[in-house]
């Protein structure tokens, strides 16, 4: 593969489908692969120690670790011990699929050779609704997500009425929790300090906040808050708020909302002001943007 990154989707548009979920006890000498799967795979270790190879990179997985691979990347999974088994939860899934009905991956798994394994794995990334991009590690330490993973496995195994939709809901919650965890881990100190302001902006899109109000929410003087905000977000509070409103306006336009409704929901004084502001920032009227992006 020549790509440096593979975008698995847009977070706010994800409709995940669970294709298979189970609990597996692997014998000490057993090995899966090398192979290429048609979807994506979570491996959550319950006990023992395993080695996950993704391309030419190897990762040791212990209890509480989550392995992730897919997207056409060759892989192998084997026990690290010659005399002890390891057990794990297995979830095969697609990030984005119109149907919630599971499609078992087995018939479409392709086996490969060591030469194909000996390549740099492509990084998996996902675009967030605020413009951020998160890189998904092949190994993640997430013991706090074990219950959520367990519920998905149980739901798949029981296959009660409506389980397909239930699985989509549970998988959406798991992915949201996982991505939240990854963002929290990498947040710089400066961004953590302004998090109350960012939450206010996200939760109250219909309100126009003053910089002093946002600074007060974080417990800082306005000048210091402005400096901190610019360091964390790469923009002044006013520029960030304007960009945020335009970004949300684009999403609502593509979702089919009327211009009057969007102007009201995003705190514009009138549809006329929204129309003028949107064109100033994007070079297009709201109607033109909707037409060109449908």
Percent of residues, the chain, with pLDDT higher than 90: 61
User: pLDDT-based confidence at 13, cuts 50/70/90?
Assistant: confident
Q: What is the mean predicted confidence (pLDDT) over 141-153?
A: 96
Q: Which domain holds residue 234?
A: 190-292
Residue 18's CATH number: 2.60.120.280
For all residues of the chain together, what is the average pLDDT? Answer: 91
Q: Where are the extended beta strands (E) located within the chain?
A: 5-10, 17-26, 31-36, 40-47, 50-54, 57-61, 65-70, 75-79, 86-94, 110-111, 123-127, 133-136, 139-141
> Does residue 4 have a pLDDT over 60?
no
- Boundary-marking domain end, from 159, 186, 213: 186
Q: What's the confidence (pLDDT) of residue 15?
A: 94
- Boundary-marking domain end, from 153, 186, 219: 186
User: pLDDT-based confidence at 2, cuts 50/70/90?
Assistant: very low
117 plus 206 within the same structural domain: no
Of 41-50, 63-72, 133-142, 260-269, least confident by mean pLDDT is 260-269
- Boundary-marking domain end, from 164, 186, 208: 186
Structural domain count, the chain = 2
Of 32-41, 132-141, 182-191, least confident by mean pLDDT is 182-191
227 plus 246 within the same structural domain: yes
> Does residue 136 have a pLDDT over 90?
yes
Residue 249's CATH number: 1.10.10.60
Q: What's the confidence (pLDDT) of residue 173?
A: 96
162 plus 195 within the same structural domain: no
27 plus 74 within the same structural domain: yes
> Does residue 243 have a pLDDT over 50?
yes
Over the stretch 41-71, which tens digit does the pLDDT of each residue have?
A: 999 999 999 999 999 999 999 999 999 999 8
107 plus 79 within the same structural domain: yes
Over the stretch 207-229, which tens digit does the pLDDT of each residue have?
A: 889 999 999 999 999 999 999 89
255 plus 166 within the same structural domain: no
Residues 77 and 36: beta-carbon distance below 8 Å:
no
157 plus 200 within the same structural domain: no
55 plus 101 within the same structural domain: yes
Report the C-alpha gap between 156 and 166 in whole angstroms. 9
63 plus 178 within the same structural domain: yes
């Amino acid at each position: 593969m020549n790509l440096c990154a593979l975008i698995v989707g847009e977070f706010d548009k994800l409709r995940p489908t669970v294709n298979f979920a189970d609990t597996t006890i692997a014998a000490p000498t057993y090995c899966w692969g090398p192979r290429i799967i048609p979807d994506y795979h979570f491996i959550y270790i319950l006990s023992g120690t395993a080695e996950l190879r993704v391309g030419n990179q190897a990762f040791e997985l212990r209890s509480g670790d989550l392995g992730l691979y897919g997207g056409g990347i060759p892989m192998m999974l084997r026990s690290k011990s010659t005399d002890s088994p390891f057990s794990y939860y297995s979830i095969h899934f697609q990030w984005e699929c119109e149907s919630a009905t599971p499609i078992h991956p087995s018939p479409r798994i392709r086996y490969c050779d060591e030469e194909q394994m000996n390549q740099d794995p492509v990084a998996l990334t996902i675009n967030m609704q605020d413009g951020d991009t998160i890189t998904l590690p092949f190994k993640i330490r997430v013991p706090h997500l074990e219950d959520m993973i367990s519920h998905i496995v149980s739901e798949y195994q029981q296959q009660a009425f409506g389980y397909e939709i239930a699985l989509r809901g549970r998988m959406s919650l798991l992915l949201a929790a996982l991505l939240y965890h990854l963002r929290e881990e990498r947040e710089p100190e400066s961004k953590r300090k302004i998090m109350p302001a960012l939450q206010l902006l996200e939760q109250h899109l219909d309100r126009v906040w003053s910089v002093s109000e946002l600074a007060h929410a974080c417990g800082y003087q306005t000048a210091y808050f402005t400096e901190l905000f610019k360091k964390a977000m790469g923009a002044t509070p006013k520029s960030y708020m304007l960009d945020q409103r335009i970004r949300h306006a684009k999403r609502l336009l593509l979702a089919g909302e009327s211009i009057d409704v969007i102007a009201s929901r995003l705190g514009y004084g009138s549809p006329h002001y929204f129309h003028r502001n949107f064109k100033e920032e994007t070079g297009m009227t709201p109607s033109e943007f909707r037409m060109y992006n449908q």
